Amino acid sequence: MKQQLAQISLLVRDYDEAIKYYTKVLGFELIEDTKLTDQKRWVVVKPGGQTTGCNLLLAKAANEEQIKSIGNQTGGRVFLFLYTDDFMRDYLDYKNKGVEFIRPPQQEPYGMVSVFKDMYGNLWDLIQPN
């Protein structure tokens, strides 16, 4: 059997603001933006330059329970892990674009890492693996 994790659903407040943030600030690429109904779209982004791996499905919160979970889908733990081939390039670029880092860069046994918040408060590790 061969399987692959294709996408992770990320709750957002608004499709267009999320697309703008993930593409303009984090440098992701918009793969798909398809209208399904008047309220629902299928919006998929991926990290810039990624050729294989997991994508993000930006899912607009549809009810009060989902709205409460925006930015806190994992109870305050780091949620997503973004690998980079140049930590300082991306760290400085994100800082210059106003991304909030809550843990300064540090060398760990697995690589250089820092924790940042996205526009909704989800925690991400930015990692340059060894």
How many domains does the structure of the chain reveal?
2
25-38: per-residue pLDDT in tens? 999 999 999 999 99
39-95: per-residue pLDDT in tens? 999 999 999 999 999 999 999 999 999 999 999 999 999 999 999 999 999 999 999
- What does the pLDDT read at residue 97? 98
Whole-prediction pTM value?
A: 0.93
Here the CATH number for the domain that contains residue 100 is 3.10.180.10
Are residues 26 and 77 both part of a single domain?
Answer: no
Report the C-alpha gap between 85 and 15 in whole angstroms: 28
Measured from the Cβ of residue 15, the count of other Cβ atoms closer than 10 Å reads 18
**Residue whose pair of structure tokens reads 């309220």 in the numeric block:** 39
* Final residue belonging to a domain, choices 19, 50, 70: 70
- What does the pLDDT read at residue 37? 95
Are residues 35 and 84 both part of a single domain?
Answer: no
Domain span at 80: 71-130
Are residues 34 and 86 both part of a single domain?
Answer: no
